[in-house]
Structure 1
Amino acid sequence: MKPLLGLEEAQARLLALAPQLPPETVPVEAALGRFLAEDLHAARTQPPADLSAMDGYALAGGEGPWTLVGESRAGAPYREVLEPGQCVRISTGAIVPPGADRVLLQEDAADDAGRISATELPPPGRHIRARGFDFHAGDLLLARSTRLTPARLALALAGGHGQVTVPRRLRVAVMDSGDELSPDPADCLPHQIPASNAAMIAAMLEPLGCEVTRVGPVPDNREALAAALAQAEDADVLVTSGGASVGDHDLIKPALADWGAETAFWRVAIKPGKPLLVATRGAQVILGLPGNPVSSFVTAFLFALPLVRAAIGDLDPLPRAVAMIAGEDLPPTEKRREFLRAVVEGDSVRLAGSQDSSALSALAAADALIDRPAGSPAARAGEVVRVFLLRNG
């Protein structure tokens, strides 16, 4: 039997298979959270003219007093050229009239029947936002593969863009399988458990903007699996849960082969999550996760989420580890790299409870995974450990 793949090699091989999505143009407001498919350059200059940064008076030369000749408001500029010794009342965001060289703050001004004097004269250029200080037409606003956050969405609009080009939404099918799974959590026979993995995985993927379709739960027979796989015909990515191990009733591998899929790799040296399966069917990527819920969650975090992020345009799709302090002693590890469910407490982490791969209560309490290398000795409380914070826990 081939040796198990290490985590980083398995992740790299999976990400190399990420679907290449065609671009589509959508309104900026509909693109929140998506990644740009091309560079975005400014179509206009911001600000488009010299603007006042404060409420007060735009002054034209000299040390005063100045004759008040009008007003410049945001959206209603004063259109004449100011002569030396003249000024206009001005509001924040209003265009500074030609001839004015500074703005006198309202609180530093005295008005004597239209004659404005300064109690504190600002230097030239003060309180004026110069034309183009933010960006000029043609400047690069956002590079390709930048994620559109609320602030970047505002920048795109300010740059004169009502639409942006992004990869089309990724279509993901999520399927759980197993004779023991009941579709109704309120109606389980003694030999059944509620089907929860597909719902959990879908909830992890949907915040990334995918179009997620649920399939199943599917019983452990080839005919039922074939019918279920047919429902995922148009998915870019298929994520299965259960049936990827080596038991007599683990039928995902043969069912995928019947469907025309080719195995890319199988089994990874991690705990939980060893039976991970990756296959392809044309451009479609299939990710077979273990059926135990904790194993399913951990492998979805380490593999499914990065695969989806890579497909939708994220150039840095892998989760990032941080260093934290072990809040309690940690057991030694054996031949596989282990990911312990943990709870963050300030700058330290402690175990969330049972580390059994079926323990959903501990998983639900966890907001971190402690990354323990294979063959590690026991770690003592106070030692620095590597931790992944669960962005989708």
Structure 2
Amino acid sequence: MISFEQASALVADLAQALPHETVGLALADGRILAKPIVARRTSPATDVSAMDGYAARDDDLAEAPVRLAVIGEAYAGQAFDGVMAPGSCVRIFTGATAPIGTDRVVIQEEVRREGPRAVFLQTPRGGRNLRAPGSDFAAGDVLVEPGVRLNAQRMVAAAAADLARVSVISRPRVLIISTGEELDEPGRPSKLRPGIPESVSFGVASLVRAWGGKVVDRWRLGDDLPTLEKAARSAVGRADVVVVTGGASVGERDFAKAMFAPLDLQPIFSKVAIKPGKPIWIGRASGALVVGLPGNPTSALVTARLFLAPLIAGLAGLGSAAATDWRSVALTGSLGPCGDRETFVRGRRTQGGVEPIGDQDSSAQKALVLSDVLIRRRPSDPASETGALVEILDF
């Protein structure tokens, strides 16, 4: 059995980014950028209007009030075809290319239209209401650096850069296997025996997606070793990471590790000195990483957050550190002394900090709804009262 720090270090070593792939821009949302987004064009390419109004020459406006002939219109994507001669102006709209000869755009609220002429009542002061070429970015500018998740703002930048495809880190493929004869698919209870709805895989799948992974399948299997061995052979061929829940103890039907034995399972670590979740283990079989989580729901989700989340984040290109952002906050409740194992107490944010929730049972499921942080307690930590600083991790 190893310490939490030792296990975390081993996970960080495993969590190296997968190779990159090129995908269409429409499929890139939420992916981790592998190469920088470099602008293929300058934006704007020419002087464009920043307002709806009238393009005019400063010389014509110097002795306002003045009436100028409106000789055309300019729209975004449809420029005025011609030169704006002295004594004339052009009706223009936001985003339209400024006609040749334009010194400024006078906003429409300051102009009175009289048929074919526009009346400028005063000489304009202040800004020109024009966006200069390259005022947003120039061709060759890096708009988004690699290693970040493409979100709404970055997707806009990628499209503005005139890119049809972008290079992103391949998403780690994850296959989840839930083991245990007692488990039923939610909403479909067995008629042959009393059972319980299988819940852990749904939480694990959500966590995998949140940290950049792709759930390729979710299987619920009984405790028959030949069947489990067959499933293991199929799983390692379809996934970068296989997650097995349950079957991690030493009972007669605990086959989580045995099912991978024919695939030359190489253990990376087995059991960690933490509470809850001591049976957590990680190994490698036929090129795939295998993560064994406890069967109890709270234990499974706590260990998944502590070890699976940084593993997926690293493989996905975010870096494992993105999922291990521990920070100090004040307690708004109290904690008893910690035992000989590092303990992760489920807690919730409050106005002044965090407080532990009441039900810390490893099988509790309703209590998970209230939990949004893990409070870290080191072995043999003394009792802590309100106001004491504790380490927390978003759960």
TM-score by length of 1: 0.89
> 1:14: how far off?
1.6
Alignment match of 2:305 (pick from 301, 321, 336): 301
Instruction: Verify the 8 A CA contact 2:221 2:228 in the aligned structure 1.
Output: no
Change (3 A) 1:84 1:332: farther
- 1:277 has 2:275 as partner: no
Match of 2:216 in 1: 212
Alignment of structure 1 residues 227-246 onto 2, 5 Å: 227-234=230-237, 235-246=239-250
Residues in 2 aligned to 1:321 and 1:84: alpha-carbon distance in whole angstroms = 66
Match of 2:230, SS state, is helix
User: Counterpart of 2:335 in structure 1: which amino acid?
Assistant: L
Tell me the percent identity.
37
Q: Following TM superposition, by how much is the alpha carbon of 1:355 offset from its aligned partner in structure 2, in angstroms?
A: 0.4
* SS of alignment partner, residue 298 of structure 2: helix
Q: How does 1:1-393 map to 2 (within 5 A)?
A: 4-7=2-5, 9-18=6-15, 21-62=18-59, 63=62, 64=64, 65=66, 67=68, 68-111=70-113, 114-119=117-122, 121-123=124-126, 126-183=128-185, 186-187=189-190, 192-207=195-210, 208-219=212-223, 221-234=224-237, 235-315=239-319, 316-390=321-395
Question: Does the Cα contact within 8 Å between 1:66 and 1:115 map onto a contact in 2?
Answer: yes
Distance 1:183 1:231, change over 3 A: farther
Instruction: Give yes or no for contact 1:19–1:285 (8 Å, CA) kept in 2.
Output: no
Q: Please report how far the alpha carbon of residue 378 of structure 1 lies from its aligned counterpart in structure 2 after TM superposition.
A: 1.4
Inter-partner Cα distance in structure 2 for 1:376 and 1:33: 40
SS at match of 2:235: coil
For residues 67 and 352 of structure 2, what CA distance do their matches in structure 1 show? 60
**Partner secondary structure for residue 309 of structure 2:** helix
CA contact (8 A) 1:175 1:214 kept: yes
Q: Runs ≥4 in structure 1, deviation > 6 angstroms?
A: 188-191
Distance in 2, matches of 1:136 and 1:22, equals 30
Query: Deviation of residue 278 (structure 1)?
Result: 0.9
Q: Is 1:74–1:93's contact at 8 Å kept on the other side of the alignment? A: yes
Distance of aligned partners of 1:197 and 1:115 in 2 relative to their CA distance in 1, 3 Å threshold: closer
| Amino acid corresponding to residue 265 of structure 1 in structure 2 | F
Q: Check the 8 A contact 2:83/2:101 in 1, yes or no.
A: yes
What do residues 236-293 of structure 1 show as CA deviations (whole Å, max 9, x unaligned)?
A: 1001111223445433233323321200112223211222111012431111111111
Maintained 8 Å contact 1:103/1:122: no
Structure 2 CA distance for partners of 1:120 and 1:346, relative to 1, 3 Å: farther
Deviates more, 1:196-205 or 1:144-153: 196-205
Would you say the 8 A contact 1:307–1:317 is kept in 2?
Answer: no
Residue 238 of structure 1 aligns to a residue whose secondary structure is strand
TM-fit CA distance, 1:206: 3.3
CA contact (8 A) 1:370 1:386 kept: yes
CA distance in 2, matches of 1:386, 1:51: 52
Per-residue CA deviations over 1:267-325 (Å, capped at 9, x if unaligned) read: 22321122211101243111111111111001111111221121122135324234433
Would you say the 8 A contact 1:205–1:212 is kept in 2?
Answer: no
In 2, Cα distance between equivalents of 1:118 and 1:90? 18
CA RMSD of aligned residues (A): 2.4
Report deviation, 1:100: 1.2
Q: Give the 3 Å change call, closer, same or farther, for CA 360–377 of structure 1 in structure 2.
A: same
- Encode CA deviations 1:144-189: one digit per residue, 9 max, x unaligned: 2221111211111111011112233422111122343334663477
- Deviation, structure 1 residue 226: 0.9
> CA offsets, 1:193-219, max 9 Å, x none?
332222321232234350331122331
Counterpart of 1:203 in structure 2: which amino acid? S
AA aligned to 1:4 is I
Structure 2 counterpart of 1:6, one-letter code: F
* Bigger mean CA offset, 181-190 vs 68-77: 181-190
Which sits farther off after the overlay, 341-350 or 330-339?
A: 341-350
Number of positions where the alignment pairs a residue of Structure 1 with one of Structure 2: 385
The 2-side partners of 1:385 and 1:85 are apart by 73
TM-score normalised over the length of structure 2: 0.89
Aligned-partner Cα distance in 1 for 2:204–2:135: 46
| Helix, strand or coil at the partner of 1:212 | strand
Structure 2 vs 1, CA of residues 374 and 129 (structure 1 numbering), >3 Å: closer, same or farther?
A: farther
